[in-house]
Amino acid sequence: MKSSTLRSPARPATARLPEPVILISGISGSGKSVALAALEDAGYFCVDNLPPELMPEFIRLQRQREVSHIAVAVDVRNAASLPRLLPLVDQLRREGTRVLPIFLESRTDTLVKRYSETRRRHPLSARQDSQGTAYTALIEAIETERALLAGVHAIATVIDTSDLRPAQLRSWVRQLVGAAHSALTLIFESFAFKHGVPRDADLVYDLRVLPNPHYVRELRALTGRDAGVVEFMQAQPEAAEMLAQIETFLNRWLPAYGMDQRSYLTVALGCTGGQHRSVYGVETLAARFRERIPTLIRHRELEAKDMSL
């Protein structure tokens, strides 16, 4: 299929969208403080735990001060005000303020482990009622929090931090805000099924049915970015066919995803170890799309390994 079949929503070539306000939210313990620190290091004026009712006035004051890079964190610590958040986001957008919501998520077992290690109390673990203070079990508090934040989760770009190191999260957040001027950014992410499917994926493809370079002794220690593995995969007709079918699907439906007011579309490709087939697939597809649409690459397992060295 020719590249001309992929068309992004129309926009003048010289137009540049205004800087969006970054709205950070998510499950407690999923890394919001790390994300805010990354934005602050990138030059954003950041405020944590801002009551939603104060957002419009806060943004107006910062714009008057000619502050263009603004990030706000809103979460369950302002539980009583959360129902007002989505209407306020809609209001800001109607008034011409771009808002980019980023939601940080993690598996419950990961969150329990993090709370155990830090010995911090979950914001909903102690709830005040007419009879005094009622203490809530951690898992129950996490599930209550998920329910309270479901509306924000539905409109946001989600990052699953369950298997991410802080350095990875900082990098991914910077990538997201760096591509925020595009109508739609395509993210290709490789992962290992043995470590779980990324919860932030919009589309997931299973490459485990393809021939595995892991069983070729000379290729076992290499990755899908190395020439030997690339040559091996290029010699497999099944690999070429599968990637062509994924490309055809994306060519057909990317315009519709763009018209759906999405900022990002995450396409996750998985194999057993996240080292060979999925990495090769991500690199190959990203090369085919990056000339036509803003494209980011993530290698979840490889990046985690690199940052542990």
Chain segment 75-89, per-residue pLDDT in tens: 988 888 889 999 999
CA distance 246 to 199: 20
Sort strands 132-135 and 126-129 into parallel, antiparallel or unpaired. antiparallel
- Per residue in 256-279, pLDDT (tens digit) is 887 766 778 999 999 999 999 999
Which candidate, 128, 269, 116, places its Cα nearest to that of 187?
A: 269
Residue 101: which H helix or E strand, with range?
A: strand 99-105
The one-letter amino acid code at 220 reads: R
Tokens of 43: 């030059």
Q: For position 181, what pLDDT does the model report?
A: 58
Count of CB atoms situated within 10 Å of the CB of 78: 17
How far is the first Cα of the chain from the last one, in angstroms, to the nearest whole number? 41
- Tell me the three state secondary structure of residue 295: strand
Query: How many angstroms from the chain centroid is the CA of residue 9?
Result: 22
How does residue 13 score in pLDDT terms, banded at 50, 70 and 90? very low
What percentage of residues in the chain have a pLDDT greater than 70? Answer: 87
194-216 residue pLDDT tens:
999 998 899 999 999 999 999 99
Cα–Cα distance, 71 to 24 (Å, whole number)? 7
pLDDT at 247 > cutoff 90: yes
